[in-house]
Amino acid sequence: MRKRLLCCLFMALLTMTALGGCAGGTGESSGDKSSTESQGDSNATQAGEPKYGGSIVVGIQQDIDSLDPHKATAAGTKEILFNIFEGLVKPLEDGSLTGAVASDYTLSDDGLVYTFTLRDNVKFHSGEAVTAEDVKYSLERVSGLLDGTALISTMKAIQSVEIIDEKTVQVTVGSPNPELIYSFVAAIIPAGSGEDEAADPIGTGPFSFVSYTPQEGIRLAKNGAYWQEGLPYLDQVDFKIITSSDTALLEMQGGSIDIYPYLTDSQAKELSGSFQILSAASDVVQALFLNNAEKPLDDVRVRQAICYALDKDSVNDFVTGGNSVPIGSAMLPTLHDFYVDLNGVYGNAADIDKAKELLADAGYPDGFDLEITVPSNYEVHMQTAEVVVEQLKLAGINATINGVEWGTWLDQCYNGRQYQSTICGITCDMTPGYLLNRFQSESKKNFINFVNAEYDAAYASAQECVTLEERAQYYNQLQQILADEAGTAFLQIPPITIAMNPKLAGYKFYPVYVQDMSTVYFTE
């Protein structure tokens, strides 16, 4: 009898420990939350008076690929280098451009000659003033005039760079291109510095480079001689590499990171008590990309059926908490002058009857099997895939998810084009043609194998236009073709959500992927 009792006790004890362990964990963190919520409240009533000085830590997701601003290709590197380097022009929050190293520029009537006037008092971090020589060197380096290899491909258009006087530089291009001015954000570096930049980057930006430790992070210090009066506020910024978002969450809760820019919806909710949560539209177009060369997706009716079967509103609701912007074609809504709202073509809600009808027309009355390859390290895309699988099921399409590593995805889907469909995001820059360029039949980046003669012709016509207004018409047409032909099932622009220490203010969102620390300041 006693033995039986002991046995029961033992069992009970085990269960209790298991339960207690888990419950203890959650109890602790909910305690955290309530204590930090009060902090958040007190912050809300503060007046945001900017204070100079102080240092912050910003969490970033991946290591730097190169500190040479002309050679860095990863978006995660460029967003940091934005603080160290500046081009002749630089972007503003609304996506327009403003003078940086150049105070002004003019474009000849035929669109072939750019004349830049350099700003006074712009100094490199080394203390030397920026001269026309430096500008000429930098532009020749990126355009390939220096050694034959163009470091920035759009800059290949530059045919010559001439120094008119010590404050004026003239750039001649081969053919008129109203979107080329966006490429002049390319960094201006000291003449002759070239390969040294990778080890000791010297630019004109609001922060100067201090040190870089691979796998750990990069440290920047205030550029006291920055040409913009009163900026930056902070004395020091550390970018700390944290590859796991779960680790980042823990570090934020522990208080060792001040700004973390890539939160998922659920993380934002976890942190909302203790941090300021800011959110804006990102520059990523998320879609269920359909490989137009694979059966049965080579049939436009099948692709349209998939578009009809998707319920963009519920993807938005389930995955991004309703903060996304649904889209119907390849253009960022933030590029107002070029964007056409094509969500109406297939609707934001699902139209299952229409989808089934089209499938029956195409010869698949009972649906078909569809494999969706997803880069599994992206939580947003994985969750979207789960929702999409459910939605397609209603239309009779039997979809399965194949989660792969990022490297595998790049090899297999993006470069190899060996896939049926994939959910991922493609980033855009500020040039409206950037996203549309990739869907030309022969484009190297056309990983969905979209082939449409009308599209190619319209894109070619657009490139011949000298003004952006004329281009806009063709770009509208391109978006329409892409939507009508259901080249791919566009979903949404997911939001970019950042968490920031409540004592900080002044964070700015840009339509491109940058972390501008120059305007961030402490309020207390």
Partner 1 sequence: MEQNLGRRNNKYLAAGLVMTLLVAGVALLGVFWTPYGTTVMSASEKFHGPSLRHLFGTDNFGRDIFSRVMKGAGATILISGLVVSVSGAMGILAGAVTGYFGGILDEVMMRITDAVNGFPSVLLGLVIISVLGPGRQNVVISLVIVFTPSFIRIVRSEFIRLRDADYISRARMMGVGRLRILFVHILPNTMSTFWASVMIGFNNAILAESGMSFLGIGVQPPDATLGNMLSDAQGYLTRAPWYALAPGLTMVWIVLGFSLLGEGLRRTQT
Decide whether 86 or 270 has the Cβ nearer to partner 1. 270
Q: Which residues contact 192 (CB under 8 A, 6 or more apart)?
A: 137
The CA-to-CA distance between both ends of the chain, in Å, stands at 68
Stretch that binds partner 1, among 47-55, 98-106, 192-200, 313-321 (CB under 8 A): 313-321
Site string for partner 1, 361-400 (x = CB under 8 A): ---------------x--x--xx-xxx-xx--x------x
Decide whether 267 or 276 has the Cβ nearer to partner 1. 267
Report if residue 30 touches partner 1, rule: CB under 8 A. Answer: yes
Site string for partner 1, 202-241 (x = CB under 8 A): ----------------------------------------
Stretch that binds partner 1, among 10-18, 126-134, 455-463, 467-475 (CB under 8 A): 10-18
Decide whether 242 or 385 has the Cβ nearer to partner 1. 385
Q: Which of 264, 329, 421, 488 binds partner 1 (CB under 8 A)?
A: 264
Q: Which residues contact 110 (CB under 8 A, 6 or more apart)?
A: 176, 466
Q: Which residues contact 345 (CB under 8 A, 6 or more apart)?
A: 307, 328, 483, 484
- Alpha carbon distances (Å) from 154 to 88, 457, 470, 519: 16, 21, 20, 30
Count CB-CB contacts under 10 A for residue 398: 13
Report if residue 61 touches partner 1, rule: CB under 8 A. Answer: no
Q: How far is the CB of 251 from partner 1 (least distance, A)?
A: 15
Whether 215 contacts 181, CB under 8 Å: no
The per-residue b/e assignment along 251-289, b for 16 or more CB within 10 angstroms, e otherwise, is: bbbeeebbbbbbbbbebbebbbbbbbbbbbbbbbbbbbb
Report if residue 451 touches partner 1, rule: CB under 8 A. Answer: no
Q: Which residues contact 317 (CB under 8 A, 6 or more apart)?
A: none
Among residues 79, 66, 84, which one has the least CA distance to residue 187?
Answer: 84
Report if residue 25 touches partner 1, rule: CB under 8 A. Answer: yes
Q: How far is the CB of 407 from partner 1 (least distance, A)?
A: 10
Q: Contacts with partner 1 in 403-422 (CB under 8 A)?
A: 403-405
The site for partner 1, by CB under 8 A, has a size of: 39
The half-sphere exposure of 350 on its side-chain side, counting CA atoms within 13 A, is: 18
Q: How far is the CB of 321 from partner 1 (least distance, A)?
A: 10
Report if residue 318 touches partner 1, rule: CB under 8 A. Answer: yes
Report if residue 246 touches partner 1, rule: CB under 8 A. Answer: yes
Q: What is the DSSP letter of 417?
A: -
Decide whether 14 or 92 has the Cβ nearer to partner 1. 14
Among residues 174, 68, 158, which one has the least CA distance to residue 116?
Answer: 158
Report if residue 7 touches partner 1, rule: CB under 8 A. Answer: yes
Q: Contacts with partner 1 in 322-341 (CB under 8 A)?
A: none
The torsion of the CA quartet 287, 288, 291, 296, rounded to 10 degrees, works out to -150
Share of the chain residues as helix, strand and coil, in percent rounded to the nearest 5:
35, 20, 45
The torsion of the CA quartet 385, 386, 392, 398, rounded to 10 degrees, works out to 100
Q: How far is the CB of 475 from partner 1 (least distance, A)?
A: 35
Q: How far is the CB of 188 from partner 1 (least distance, A)?
A: 43
Q: How far is the CB of 19 from partner 1 (least distance, A)?
A: 7
Report if residue 34 touches partner 1, rule: CB under 8 A. Answer: no
Report if residue 19 touches partner 1, rule: CB under 8 A. Answer: yes
Q: Which of 38, 266, 415, 467 binds partner 1 (CB under 8 A)?
A: 266
Helices (runs of H) and strands (runs of E) counted in the chain: 13, 21
Residues lying near partner 1 in the complex (CB under 8 A) are found at 3-4, 7, 11, 14, 18-19, 22-23, 25-26, 29-30, 33, 246, 264, 266-267, 269-270, 314, 317-318, 376, 379, 382-383, 385-387, 389-390, 393, 400-405
